[in-house]
């Protein structure tokens, strides 16, 4: 039978194992901390990028809506005559609806009496 190991040798092995496991745990914690920092940076960049992209998209939409308001307002306030065709009436009336629907900053004047008469003639309400 083998002789039992001396207690001092067992304690030395246990101390060595404890130091190694503690070093491993510290290294693991350091690695996990570095991973968390890298992930936080990546998430921060992605969030910042999406916010910037969202702002650019909103700016583009606002620009398009402003352009559409300008176009609709110029058509909606075009003078009409009693000889205006149904197509011309529909263009003016559609532009008036567009100005109201887009909540354009320009305020439409009330429809002219000729526009109201054309609305009755073509069987279409005037806004």
Per domain, the residue ranges of the chain are 35-122
List Cα–Cα distances, 64 to 51, 53, 74, 77, 102, in angstroms. 20, 17, 15, 20, 11
pLDDT, tens only, 97-109: 988 888 888 888 9
What's the pTM value of the predicted model, to 2 decimals? 0.55
Residue 1 has pLDDT above 70, yes or no: no
pLDDT, tens only, 36-60: 888 888 887 777 777 778 888 888 9
25-35 residues labelled b (16+ CB within 10 A) or e (exposed): eeeeeeeeeee
């Amino acid at each position: 039978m083998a002789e039992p190991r001396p207690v001092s040798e067992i304690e030395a092995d246990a101390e060595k194992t404890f130091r190694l496991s503690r070093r491993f745990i510290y290294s693991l914690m350091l690695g996990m901390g570095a991973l968390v920092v890298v992930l936080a940076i990546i998430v921060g960049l992605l969030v910042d990028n999406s916010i910037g992209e969202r702002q650019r998209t909103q700016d583009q939409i606002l620009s398009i809506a402003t352009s559409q308001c300008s176009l609709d307002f110029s058509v909606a306030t075009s003078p009409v005559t009693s000889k205006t065709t149904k197509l011309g009436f529909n263009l003016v009336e559609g532009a008036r609806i567009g100005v109201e629907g887009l909540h354009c900053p320009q305020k439409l004047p009330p429809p002219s009496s000729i526009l109201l008469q054309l609305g009755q003639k073509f069987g279409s309400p005037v806004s």
